[in-house]
A and B are shown apart, each in its own frame.
Chain A
Amino acid sequence: MTLEIIGIFVLWTFLFGYLIVASIDFGAGFFNAYSLLTGRQRILTNIIQRYLSPVWEVTNVFLVFFFVGIIGFFPKTAFYYGTTLLIPASIGLILLAIRGSYYAFETYGSRGHKGYSFMYGIAGLFIPAALSIVLTISEGGFVYMINDSPTLDYVALFRSPLTWSIVVLSLTSVLYISSVFLTWYANKAGDLEATRLMRKYALIWALPTIITAGGIMVELRSHNQEHYENMVDIWWAFALSLLLFIGTVWLLWSRRNYGIAFGLLAGQFLIAFFAYGFSHLPYLLYPHLTIYDSFTNEAMAIALIVAFIAGLALLIPSLYLLLRLFLFNKDYVRGKKEDNHA
């Protein structure tokens, strides 16, 4: 394995982490707002608050880690993506900022303000839409070099069906991931009513997720032939991912082993996400930038990898502690412990 591959592997892993935890977070916010609208707030809010409260800050860090890390490992990305992403990334940032702080304002300040919940829920859907634009741009065809500076062609971007398919996939997968997780979590909490509702949402969002994912393959065929062929070369990975998807749906359908169902779902996204990333290599931005020509110097790469390993040694036990205290703690999940925040 070359240093370049190690670098992109580390970053991709953290992006995957963000994909899962942020999807749960964004989806939960949406379901919370939706339940307010439909008067089912009583059923869901408790469960959602219980999960989100101690972990919301951690979610953000996965994203920060990714965009700081990519500048470290692949400094040239700052030039290409930094220049072109000004508008979509800024919009994503503003939404993240509003969402993050208003979550804290509502949870710790004035609980139960409906306006905050709506803003929070809606922002959670716009964020993945804004951030997923980056994936579309990376497929090439939207960035041109004008006077040696990369420029984004917004008209082409907004007219491309690929853009919209990826946006839709980001939305459906957020809702799907989140509802499967919350089904499991509600079940652990012994909350039958919430489990039933979340299971229904999970089944509703399963099909749209897999259809849009498949649709993107078709879009890519005409948009980026090279990437498409690379994906076809590792068709078995996508097939495996599909099998895991079927497994999740089947378990949900037959109302059992929600924990395993969520595990299969994580596996499905893990495999698809890495297969997509792997087939994207060596390009970071078609056709301008590859992991090889944008890579940092060897001294920095080694320093970053050493720092990464040392950091993980610190983080993994801490994350484990966090999960053990809140996610895997039966009394906490069921609301038996009186763990009110400070």
Chain B
Amino acid sequence: MNEESVFYSRILTETTLSFHIIYATIGVGVPLMIMIAQWVGIKKNDEHYILLARRWARGFVITVAVGVVTGTAIGMQLSLLWPNFMELAGNIIALPLFLETFAFFFEAIFLGIYLYTWDRFENQKKHLLLLIPVAIGASFSAVFITIVNAFMNAPQGFDVVNGELVNISPLLAMFNPAMPTKVAHVVVTAYMTSAFVLAAIAAFRLLRGSNHIYHKKALFLTMKVGLVFSITSAIIGDFSGKYLAEYQPEKLAAAEWHFETEGSAPLVMFGVLDDGEIKYAIKIPFALSILAHSNPTAEVIGLDQFPKDEIPPLYIHYLFDIMVTIGVSMVGLSGLYWLGIKLKWVFVNSKWYRILIVLGGPASIIAIETGWWLAEVGRQPWILRGIMRVEDAATTNPHVDIMLILFAGLYLVLGIGSIVVLSRMFKKNPVEQEIEDRHAEKGGDIL
């Protein structure tokens, strides 16, 4: 065991995943948003929505490119940094990994076709059909890869007898207890985040002085979709709590700072830990018992039931707080906006409210990041819960530190590059001008 390699392998994996997840989340959610916009455009015969789909698709290519290359990086890094884990995982959970490449392949092919056939079909509906495999491929990539992560949390589908793996069932391994809540949570929050990121862009344009109806339509559509998915995320979050209570009680207990096993457990929100004492926290009576077992007096297992070296770091409570706070705020923000538009409240069109919507975009990304850190750090010290510890999985190669520097440089280049290209792309061709150009070109026809 080489402690330095373990340490740097963890940092490098965390860096890659934290960077990749931004683009991956957008990559999963935005195709659905493009599909909705194009479909609404066809239904309402409204060129603004179709243009919206087209402009989103244009930006999407840039994010997808970074998503693809960083996805390739993490795919190979798993074997480079965690060879012992991948040797074990290859035997049991290779099926969804393999299926993920097919989903991705499928998406890649149709994305190429979709992008280059905008003007090929007279009938917009035919073109929209090409987007369906893109959206399906993108979502299923997320489904399959999340299944692998679910397996790491709740491994099953095999037995270990005398150090040998026997009775392997790839399907049982795939459909592990963590899978339903985890997959649903990842996919739905990707839709939610993408909607709020696109909403933030529309609100930003409106704040910057444009008063075009195009941006208003974009804002209302994205906030509405965001509302639906943020409510869904909250419901699934509740199920995740019940899953954790049943299968990974130490993760739940650490995230909620629930030290003693007890009934009628309160939910600790916020607060800080001072020498093992919780201070300044808000305690919601019975809430943890309800979250864990749907019963206000049910007993919730605390950290006292676990040996010290099998307890995840307690700072994951802060990650949990950030994720939940942002999630709930986004439900409120989008719900209020939707009501406000319906009931003609003026404040939802005010400057400060739009600033809040703009902030909602990056905030949603932060929620995604903290959610993943919570999921991964909360599984410590295990890479495969109960079976393999992180330090036993890492490579013995002593050069991981240099690779960390190289990859960090790469992500910096890609991050800056994608932001510069995206902002230049839309600044050079503002929507007002594009609408005008199109009218001039087609003599006022609808696209």
Partner-B contacts on A (CB < 8 A): 53-58, 60-61, 63-65, 67-69, 71-76, 78-87, 89-91, 93-94, 96-98, 100-105, 108-110, 147, 149, 296-297, 299-300, 303-304, 307-308, 311, 314-315, 318-319, 321-322, 325-326, 337-342
Contact = CB atoms under 8 A, between A and B. Distances in A.
A114 to B, nearest CB: 16
Interface string B71-90: 11101110111111011111
B115 A54 contact: yes
A29 B286 CA distance: 63
B7 interface: no
A89 B76 contact: yes
Interface of B: 54, 57-58, 61-62, 64-66, 68-73, 75-77, 79-84, 86-92, 94-95, 97-102, 104-106, 108-120, 133, 165, 168-171, 395-397, 399-400, 402-403, 406-407, 410, 413-414, 417-418, 421-422, 424-425
Given A86-B80, A90-B80, A105-B417, A339 B69 contact: no
Nearest to A326: B116
A110 B421 contact: yes
A311 B102 contact: yes
Which residue, B68, B77, B113, B425, has most C-beta atoms of chain A within 10 A?
A: B68
B169 A299 contact: yes
Contacts of A296: 90-91, 94
B110 A318 contact: yes
A53 B109 contact: no
B389 to A, nearest CB: 17
Contact of B112 (A54, A79, A98): A54
Which residue, B102, B406, B414, has most C-beta atoms of chain A within 10 A?
A: B102
A72 B117 contact: no
A108 B69 contact: no
Contacts of B58: 108, 341-342
22 contacts: A60-B69, A67-B79, A68-B101, A69-B98, A69-B101, A71-B79, A72-B98, A82-B79, A82-B81, A82-B86, A86-B400, A89-B76, A91-B406, A100-B68, A101-B414, A109-B421, A149-B396, A300-B95, A311-B105, A315-B105, A339-B118, A342-B58
B75 A68 contact: yes
4 A-B pairs with the lowest CB-CB distances in the bound complex, closest first: A75-B90, A72-B94, A82-B83, A104-B65
A103 B65 CA distance: 9
Nearest to A342: B57
B102 A86 contact: no
A274 B226 CA distance: 51
A322 B112 contact: yes
B166 to A, nearest CB: 8
A58 B109 contact: yes
A91 B77 CA distance: 12
Contacts of B97: 68, 71-72
Contact of B116 (A53, A63, A315): A53
Per DSSP, chain A at the interface is helix
A342 B61 contact: yes
Contacts of A339: 116-120
A325 B421 contact: no
Given A57-B111, A67-B76, A86-B397, A315 B168 contact: no
A67 B90 contact: no
A79 B84 contact: yes
Given A94-B407, A98-B413, A64 B101 contact: yes
B116 A54 contact: yes
B99 A307 contact: yes
Per DSSP, chain B at the interface is helix
Contacts of B396: 83, 147, 149
B142 to A, nearest CB: 16
Given A101-B418, A105-B65, A110-B421, 6 more contacts: A57-B112, A68-B75, A100-B72, A307-B102, A326-B112, A342-B57
Contacts of B410: 94, 97-98
A101 B109 CA distance: 17
A322 to B, nearest CB: 5
Contact of A299 (B57, B168, B395, B402): B168
Contacts of B119: 337-340
A204 to B, nearest CB: 31
A101 B417 CA distance: 9
Given A97-B73, A101-B66, A311 B99 contact: yes
Contacts of B400: 86
B92 A318 contact: no
Given A65-B101, A75-B94, A110-B424, A96 B69 contact: yes
B94 A71 contact: yes
Contacts of B109: 58, 315, 318-319, 321-322
A82 B110 CA distance: 32
Contacts of B406: 90-91, 94
Given A82-B395, A322-B113, A314 B101 contact: no
A141 to B, nearest CB: 19
B253 to A, nearest CB: 33
A144 B133 CA distance: 46
Given A57-B108, A69-B101, A83-B396, A304 B95 contact: yes
Contacts of A104: 61-62, 64-66
Contacts of B402: 87
Contacts of A58: 105, 108-109, 112
B119 to A, nearest CB: 5
Nearest to B396: A149
A321 B117 CA distance: 12
Nearest to A82: B83
Contacts of B414: 97-98, 101
B199 to A, nearest CB: 21
A86 B422 CA distance: 33
Given A100-B65, A108-B62, A87 B170 contact: no
Given A101-B414, A300-B168, A339-B119, A67 B75 contact: yes
Contacts of A63: 72
Contacts of A81: 79
Contact of A314 (B73, B102, B170, B417): B102
Nearest to A295: B91
A83 B85 CA distance: 12
Given A79-B84, A299-B168, A71 B90 contact: yes
Nearest to B69: A97
Which residue, B71, B120, B397, has most C-beta atoms of chain A within 10 A?
A: B397
A337 B120 contact: yes
A171 B100 CA distance: 31
Given A86-B80, A102-B417, A105-B418, A342 B115 contact: yes
A303 B170 contact: yes
B113 A75 contact: no
